[in-house]
């Protein structure tokens, strides 16, 4: 699955189709919960999945390097001394 996601993020249409095929049953089931015609709901969920897959950054992908700054910021927040509260 990770290989499909990485390939899809790089524009591989076959990988994208494999992901859509994999989630087809889930998309069909979830479309019944949206307040819109079923066909429109399926289209919406499919489009959202494609957009999500195309923008995802995996640990193995070169695009993941951009996440290093975010991780460093969170690590700095965790390492910072916490203000003392009245109870502690």
50-61 residue pLDDT tens = 999 888 876 665
Using N-to-C axis directions, what is the helix angle for 13-31 and 2-9, rounded to 10°? 110
Q: Is the pLDDT of residue 43 over 60?
A: yes
pLDDT at 2 over 70: yes
Output the six-digit token pair for 38. Answer: 């079923």
More confidently predicted of 31 and 75? 31
Question: The whole model's pTM is what?
Answer: 0.62
Give dist(CA 16, CA 32) in Å, integer: 23
- pLDDT, residue 21, reads 96
More confident: 49 or 63: 49
Q: What is the DSSP string of the chain?
A: -HHHHHHHHTT-HHHHHHHHHHHHHHHHHHHTTSSS-HHHHHHHHHHHHHHHHHH---TTSGGGGGGHHHHHHHHHHHHSPPPPPTT-
């Amino acid at each position: 699955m990770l290989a499909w996601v990485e390939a899809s993020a790089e524009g591989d249409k076959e990988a994208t189709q494999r992901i859509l095929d994999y989630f087809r049953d889930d998309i069909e089931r979830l479309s019944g919960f949206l307040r819109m015609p079923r066909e429109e709901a399926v289209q919406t969920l499919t489009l959202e999945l494609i957009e999500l897959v195309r923008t995802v950054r995996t640990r193995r992908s070169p695009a993941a390097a951009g996440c290093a700054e975010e991780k460093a910021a969170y690590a700095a927040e965790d390492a910072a001394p916490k203000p003392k509260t009245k109870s502690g």
